[in-house]
Amino acid sequence: MLLTSSFWTKYFKVYDILNIFPPYQELLDTICERLRVKRGEKILDAGCGTGNLAMKIQERGGVVTGVDFCREALMICQRKNPHIKTVLTDLTKPLPFPDNYFDKVASNNVLYTIAKEKQIDVLRELNRVLKPGGVLVISNPKKGWSILKIYSSGFKHTLVEEGLFRTIKKMLLMLAPTLQMFYYNFKIKRGRHYYFFKSGEQRSLLFEAGFQKVSDDILLYGKQAILNIAIKWFK
């Protein structure tokens, strides 16, 4: 199955339930912290979806441009926050921005949905539009990831923070959209066009795409996602 923009349009009808889900919030907050957003910086969110990460970056003072090839997602993003500039574009094509344009780039849960042979070109484009000295923070689910592990880490977190009664209430509230999320994630995992990174693989690809300094893998999202921080060095 190819993950087309119409697949994402359906998925996005339930996607934002993740905004009350602690592991997703922790993941987005960590990306923002690692970006070290400064007021007025131009920041690209590559594959912004409904804008959850873009909004957090904007709240920290970044001037965000979100790009995505799913029109419906960008409309949801615009409805939620009209200050975020959105551009409908396919990341596997040349990006409509000049060289060295953005101070920073973020991308969460996107590259794995792109065919393996195209991933390197996507990263090269992100490198091209990033200023020398600029940082890219990228995270994707790891090979063998389990949605049950992500959910159980969220459950444990809510139990400790909010107690049993509120946890049960939250789980019941999330039940219907969660079942739909499970279904879409099942489709993603069964699809032939995704590619999940083994340990160290996303890091190697970032070097290959021209980033000169890349952090070791950082495990987040119930330890089911790999985050790397990469720097485009001065020539």
Ligand X SMILES: C[S@@+](CC[C@H](N)C(=O)[O-])C[C@H]1O[C@@H](n2cnc3c(N)ncnc32)[C@H](O)[C@@H]1O
Binding region for ligand X (CB under 6 A): 5, 8, 47-49, 52-53, 68-70, 73, 90-92, 108-110, 113-114
Q: Which helix (H) or strand (E) holds 135?
A: strand 130-141
Q: Minimal distance in Å, beta carbon 4 to ligand X?
A: 9
Pick from 194, 176, 197, 184: nearest CA to 147: 184
Pick from 125, 92, 109, 101: nearest CA to 184: 109
Q: Minimal distance in Å, beta carbon 83 to ligand X?
A: 18
Q: Minimal distance in Å, beta carbon 54 to ligand X?
A: 8
Torsion-angle region of 195 (φ positive above 0: left; ψ -120 to 50: alpha; else: beta): beta
Q: Minimal distance in Å, beta carbon 111 to ligand X?
A: 9
Nearest-CB residue for ligand X: 49
- The smaller minimum CB distance to ligand X, of residues 131 and 193, is found at 193
3-class SS of residue 93: coil
- The smaller minimum CB distance to ligand X, of residues 45 and 167, is found at 45
- The smaller minimum CB distance to ligand X, of residues 12 and 211, is found at 12
Q: Minimal distance in Å, beta carbon 49 to ligand X?
A: 3
DSSP state of 89: -
- The smaller minimum CB distance to ligand X, of residues 68 and 103, is found at 68
Q: Minimal distance in Å, beta carbon 161 to ligand X?
A: 22
Torsion, Cα 188 123 53 142, to 10 degrees, reads 40
Rounded Cα distance, 87 and 199, in Å: 32
3-class SS of residue 121: helix
3-class SS of residue 96: coil
Structure tokens at 231: 């720097």
- The smaller minimum CB distance to ligand X, of residues 48 and 130, is found at 48
Strand partners, 44: 65, 105
- The smaller minimum CB distance to ligand X, of residues 130 and 167, is found at 130
